[in-house]
Amino acid sequence: MGKKTPEINSSSTADIAFLLLCYFLMTTTMGSHTGLSRRLPPMPDPNQKAEDQKVNRRNLIVVKINSQDRLMAGNEALDVSMLKERTKIFLSNPTDDPNLPDKEVKDIEGLGKRPVSKGVISLQNDRGTSYQAYIAVQNELVKAVNELRDEASMREFGKKFAQLDEDRQGIIKELVPQQISEAEPKDVGKRRR
Amino acid sequence: MSMFRKDGKKTMPGITSGSLSDIVFMLLFFFMVTTQMRDNEQKVMIRTPYASESVKLERKDLSSYINIGTPVRKLQAQYGTEPRIQLNDSFKSVDDIRDFIAAERESKSEQDRAFMTVCIKADRDVRMGIITDVKQELRRCSALKIMYSASKSE
């Protein structure tokens, strides 16, 4: 071996890598996708009678949003900021008010017998409601349920809901179900799209 | 100030730039891992609404997107300023959602089809009428798992 092979000049690798980096910066997007998860009710069976789905009156709170984004919950006008407290009282029914939802004693695995609220929130909106108002109301309802779940898990396990493991989260979810139904659309008010 | 006087004899050793490429490659890998390919061109303007309780989408590969909003300024002359539905790469009507959902379902593997999530990305000023139509159509196609796209903070 008489001759030494000359070293390959590596100063341009940085440039090549920069080029690649710029390419990826241009063509990709940061993936941070968040939102509110929901389950739509299945299409009603046309043969099924409407009476089957009727829920007892005291177990139902109807939240309506009109085309001016005004809110009504259980026959009274409300502000969005008040909705969370109203929903919490409705779902938890701390004083066992006969006008507020009934509680059913359920045997929950890992906890024993516990009263579970039968309350259902029915959300109705107009075609003219703005999407922001709709999401704001959905958000308040979810927040109310989340806070009730936090309270329940503090009571049962001494921890916040988010810090529980998956099994225990399932138990709490059974104890405080999220019953938000998005009602069949109704066309009221002026049609504005 | 003899400290700063140039002697002319001594030369500063050059900074080795050999590790520069490693640093840039590291950056490159970071971006390759954290980002995803932009799959379609955005044709509608979407400013997502705020919701403090929003959660992360679990399986990004199992979600399909329905974009609703006013067309971008470039396309307004052609399509007007009324909110439109964008599926994949073009403007579609509510009736096309059925085909879109069927195609999306077909592209997912058999055991994952039940977990398919339809992500509704709508502008915050869109009226609920169009979204209700979309929701009803999704119910008819029995694509019941949906997600309202929203950002966590203002």
Residue B56 domain boundaries: 44-148
Q: Distance between CA B48 and CA B51 in Å, rounded?
A: 9
Model confidence band, residue B8 (pLDDT cutoffs 50, 70, 90): low
Residue-level pLDDT at B2: 54
Cβ pair A42:B139 closer than 8 A? yes
- Residue B27 in any domain: the answer is no
Residue-level pLDDT at B31: 82
24-63 in chain B: CB under 8 A from chain A: 24-25, 27-28, 31-32, 34-38, 48-57, 60, 63
State the nearest Cα–Cα gap between B39 and chain A, in angstroms.
9
User: What's the DSSP call for residue A7?
Assistant: P
Residue-level pLDDT at B5: 60
Residue ranges of E strands in chain B: 35-37, 44-45, 55-56, 63-71, 84-87, 90-92, 117-122, 145-149
Residue-level pLDDT at B39: 63
**Model confidence pLDDT, tens digit, residues A48-101:** 655 555 667 778 888 888 888 888 887 788 888 888 888 888 888 777 777 777
What does the CA dihedral B140, B131, B86, B69 come to, rounded to 10 degrees?
180
- Residue B14 in any domain: the answer is no
Q: Number of Cβ pairs closer than 8 Å across A and B?
A: 166
pLDDT above 80 for B154: no
pTM of the predicted protein model: 0.74
Q: Is B145 on the interface with A (CB under 8 A)?
A: yes
Instruction: Considering only the beta carbons, identify the residue of A27, A30, A34 that sits closest to B56.
Output: A34
State the nearest Cα–Cα gap between B6 and chain A, in angstroms.
29
Cβ pair A138:B148 closer than 8 A? yes
Instruction: Considering only the beta carbons, identify the residue of A31, A38, A146 that sits closest to B146.
Output: A38
User: Could you give the angle at which helices B128-140 and A131-157 cross, rounded to 10 degrees?
Assistant: 60
Residues A156 and A174 sit within 8 Å (Cβ to Cβ): no
H helical segments located in B18-92 = 20-34, 73-79
The closest of B86, B12, B96, B79 to B43, measured between CA atoms, is B86
Cβ pair B52:A143 closer than 8 A? yes
State the nearest Cα–Cα gap between A98 and chain B, in angstroms.
31
Cα A188 to its chain centre, rounded Å, is: 26
- Alpha-carbon Rg for chain B, nearest whole angstrom, is 25
What the block records as the tokens of B102 is 């069927």
- Residue B32 in any domain: the answer is no
| Cα distances (angstroms) measured from residue A25 to each of A66, A89, B40 | 44, 49, 16
Q: Is B88 on the interface with A (CB under 8 A)?
A: no
pLDDT above 80 for A19: yes
**Model confidence pLDDT, tens digit, residues A94-127:** 777 777 777 777 777 777 777 888 888 888 888 8
What the block records as the tokens of A75 is 């026959």
Which of A6-15, A104-113, B94-103, B137-146 bottoms out in mean pLDDT, i.e. has the lowest? A104-113
**Diameter over CA atoms, chain B:** 86
B72 backbone dihedrals φ, ψ, rounded to 5°: -65, 160
Q: Bigger pLDDT: B72 or A46?
A: B72
- Residue B67 in any domain: the answer is yes
pLDDT, average across residues B119-124: 86
Q: Distance between CA A30 and CA A139 in Å, rounded?
A: 24
Complex ipTM above 0.85? Answer: no
Which percentage of chain B shows pLDDT scores above 90?
0
- Residue B70 in any domain: the answer is yes
What the block records as the tokens of A192 is 């504005």
Q: Distance between CA B116 and CA A173 in Å, rounded?
A: 22
Contacts of A189 (CB under 8 A, 6+ apart): A66, A67, A126, A127, A128
Q: Residues A116-146, buried b or exposed e (16+ Cβ, 10 A)?
A: bbbbbbebbbbbbbbbbbbbbbbbbbbbbbb
Which percentage of chain A shows pLDDT scores above 90?
0
pLDDT above 60 for B137: yes
pLDDT, average across residues B79-83: 82
What the block records as the tokens of A182 is 């998005």
CATH code, B101: 3.30.420.270
> Into how many domains does chain B fold?
1
Chain A residues close to B66, C-beta within 8 Å: none
Domain-wise residue ranges, chain A: 53-182
pLDDT above 50 for A40: yes
Q: Is B72 on the interface with A (CB under 8 A)?
A: no
